[in-house]
Amino acid sequence: MKLYGIPNCNTVKKARTWLEENGVTYEFHDFKKQGIDEATIQQWLTQAPWDKLVNRAGMTWRNLSDSEKAAVSDNASATELMMTKTSVIKRPLLFKDGTILALGFDAEKYQQTLKS
């Protein structure tokens, strides 16, 4: 199981704490240090639309110019944005065996998904 995110994100911190407190073993993928490759994003896009993977409520998105925001309109343009500005990816993203288990953190969803 792999948890994607950035370590100083409060939501990622909550997810990591929940996983550790519940004895769930995971590998942490730090977008800031490790980046993200196109193949991984393409795999995610088979399971979630680009507008769910791009966090349009976050500061990274809000700090984009209007023209940069307008240029993100499909999988290809969203992929390019996610690869160049990894902080725009919705986080945390919990992934196991080729499947997105959770996008964002919700303790109830983690409980249902990981303890069932």
User: 27 phi and psi, to 5 degrees?
Assistant: -105, 135
Q: How does pLDDT run across 32-80, given as a tens digit for each residue?
A: 999 999 999 999 999 999 999 999 999 999 999 999 999 999 999 999 9
Split into its structural domains, the chain has a count of 1
C-alpha distance from residue 77 to each of 5, 7, 89 (Å): 21, 26, 13
- Residues annotated as part of the active site: 9
Neighbours of 107 (CB within 10 A): 12
Containing domain of residue 88, as a range?
A: 2-115
pLDDT tens, 23-42? Answer: 999 999 999 999 999 999 99
DSSP output for 58-111: SHHHHTS-HHHHHT--SHHHHHHHHHH-GGGB-S-EEEETTEEEEES--HHHHH
User: Can you give the CATH number for the domain in which 59 is found?
Assistant: 3.40.30.10
Q: What is the DSSP letter of 115?
A: H
